[in-house]
């Protein structure tokens, strides 16, 4: 049961060991005792240097069924724990994440390829949502309503669903799981996690951390489970009547498949899918401040965020000036090993992502776009997954501009009229996740945020499209799926609503004044 560690740097080997994933090969875990899966082997390779980090066995169907049964049994007890007591467990998980932040952030960076600072930020998101969930555990409130009938009281309350299936993507291999589990656990649900097969070690590390807390608190086995594997595991979850809610993060194509499968059995799905996010640069914008948000939004995580900035809609009056600022900023970007904090941009996740990036550049040229900053694959890098951030002048109606390419490609689009023209361009795509406007004009800002403004789930003023805080609900509209995770009242997605009416009188009057005498 030893992992196959090929040639990661010694510092990474030490990180793996400190997180408990350097000695044992784990495919399945029901929360206490992880064990090797019986399915196909998954090789975790780092896009940083191309090294094979470890092998993980995926689960077969029998192991999957055992995990679901364990999760169902655990739910029967876990739902009876007072919500503040469940919150105390989540609080301790947050403390363990604090203690392991540096190592887990480094593992995220190395296995996924994002910068070390972004890896640390992802772990911090998990810590933040744990803090949020602790407070929430004392505020799972319903409403009270006046009854039309005398000596009656009406109110509503919220109850947990049961096992919640969580499907996550490679680009945020730990944070999105944290968003879901922290809320689902304090609400009284159990969780079954299907992580991306591209980042299995991150899931194992998180499970190790959680297991420590669960054992210490006597949490029933099955409250938190992982099932590593490929597409088939996601299909099992989506079609499984024992899973009342499936939360899935990934591509729009994947989301359609999940929604169809879950909908056919009348289950519930929470979908966080693709984004084609735009920033409007008004002629009344602070261009220097705008530059920071645009560049980070476009090249952060090598353009592999669902909230990455893909389109800039720039007013004619400032177009050339802002383009010149962008070109200068891009010339200063350093692409390389994300664990070296002097670098701005790490690698794409794998060779398939590189091919999609190159395809998008070719299509842009074929459709008549003009290359402002040339892209291409960097030579001499070990993994072959390092690419140059590109800037392309394009038209809004080009089909490539309408697509989401998970890579650092930024399209520049012009507008010359009023703000309505820019908003129409921004809204003129099928995705609806994140959006922003850069302006110092209060009227423009408020119009952008109004019902006739941005049609996205997230709309910002004078900040970029990426970098959402956990205090607000996260999610988008249209083909982004319509789900909401993280803050605000997103907890309601993990619970079922129940309306209660209590008669404390001596007679039984009927609603709407109906008479029914015996």
- The residues annotated as belonging to the active site are 272, 306
User: What would the 3-class secondary structure string for 250-292 be?
Assistant: CCHHHHHHHHHHHHHCCCEEEEECCCCEEEEECCCCCHHHHHH
DSSP H or E run through 154: strand 152-160
Q: Under a CB-based contact definition with an 8 Å cutoff, are residues 34 and 24 in contact?
A: yes
Q: How many CA atoms lie within 13 A of 157 on its CB side?
A: 5
Q: Report the DSSP beta bridge partners of residue 167.
A: 194, 248
Q: How many CA atoms lie within 13 A of 281 on its CB side?
A: 30
Rounded to whole angstroms, how far apart are CA atoms 285 and 437? 9
Q: Under a CB-based contact definition with an 8 Å cutoff, are residues 272 and 176 in contact?
A: yes
- The β-bridge relationship of strands 52-57 and 41-45 is antiparallel
Q: Dihedral sign, CA of 199, 201, 203, 205?
A: negative
Q: Dihedral sign, CA of 128, 248, 64, 189?
A: positive
72 phi and psi angles, rounded to 5 deg: -65, -45
Q: Under a CB-based contact definition with an 8 Å cutoff, are residues 307 and 434 in contact?
A: yes
């Amino acid at each position: 049961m030893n992992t196959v560690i090929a040639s990661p740097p010694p510092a990474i080997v030490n990180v793996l060991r400190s997180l408990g994933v350097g000695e044992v090969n784990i495919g399945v875990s029901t929360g206490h005792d992880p064990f090797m899966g019986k399915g196909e082997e998954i090789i975790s390779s780092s896009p940083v240097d191309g090294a094979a980090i470890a092998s993980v066995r995926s689960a077969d169907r029998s192991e999957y069924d055992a995990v679901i049964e364990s999760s169902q049994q655990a739910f029967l007890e876990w739902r009876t724990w007072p919500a503040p007591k469940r919150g105390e467990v989540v609080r301790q998980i947050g403390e363990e994440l604090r203690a392991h932040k540096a190592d887990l952030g480094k593992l995220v960076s190395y296995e996924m390829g994002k910068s070390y600072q972004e890896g640390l930020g992802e772990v911090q998101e998990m810590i933040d949502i744990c803090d949020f969930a602790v407070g929430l555990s004392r505020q799972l409130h319903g409403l009270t309503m006046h009854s039309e009938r005398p000596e009656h009281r009406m109110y509503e309350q919220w109850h947990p669903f049961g096992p919640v299936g969580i499907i996550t993507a490679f680009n945020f291999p730990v944070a999105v799981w944290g968003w879901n589990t922290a809320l689902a656990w304090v609400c009284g649900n159990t969780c079954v996690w299907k992580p991306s097969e591209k980042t299995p070690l991150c899931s194992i590390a998180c499970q190790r951390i959680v297991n420590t807390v669960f054992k210490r608190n006597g949490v029933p086995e099955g409250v938190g489970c992982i099932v590593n594997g490929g597409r088939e595991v996601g299909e099992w979850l989506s079609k499984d009547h024992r899973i009342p809610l499936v939360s899935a993060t990934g591509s729009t194509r994947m989301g359609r498949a999940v929604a169809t499968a879950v909908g056919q059995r009348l289950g519930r799905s929470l979908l966080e899918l693709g984004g084609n996010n735009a920033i409007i640069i008004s002629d009344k914008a602070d261009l220097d401040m705008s530059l920071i948000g645009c560049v980070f939004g476009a090249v952060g995580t090598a353009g592999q965020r669902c909230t990455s900035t893909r389109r800039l809609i720039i007013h004619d009056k400032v177009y050339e000036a802002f383009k010149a600022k962008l070109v200068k900023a891009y010339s200063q970007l350093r692409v390389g090993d994300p664990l070296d904090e002097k670098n701005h941009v790490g690698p794409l996740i794998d060779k398939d992502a590189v091919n999609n990036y190159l395809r998008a550049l070719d299509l842009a040229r074929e459709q008549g776009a003009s290359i402002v900053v040339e892209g291409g694959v960097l030579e001499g890098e070990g993994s072959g997954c390092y690419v140059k951030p590109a800037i392309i002048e394009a038209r809004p109606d080009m089909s490539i501009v309408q697509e989401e390419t998970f890579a650092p490609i930024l399209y520049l689009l012009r507008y010359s009229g009023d703000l309505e023209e820019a908003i129409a361009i921004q809204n003129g795509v099928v995705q609806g996740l994140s959006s922003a406007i850069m302006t110092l004009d209060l009227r423009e800002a408020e119009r952008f945020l109004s019902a006739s403004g941005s049609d996205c789930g997230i709309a910002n003023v004078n900040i970029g499209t990426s970098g959402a805080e956990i205090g607000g609900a996260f999610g988008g509209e249209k083909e982004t799926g319509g789900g909401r995770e993280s803050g605000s009242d997103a907890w309601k997605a993990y619970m079922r609503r129940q309306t209660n009416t209590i008669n404390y009188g001596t007679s039984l009057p009927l609603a709407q004044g109906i008479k029914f005498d015996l």
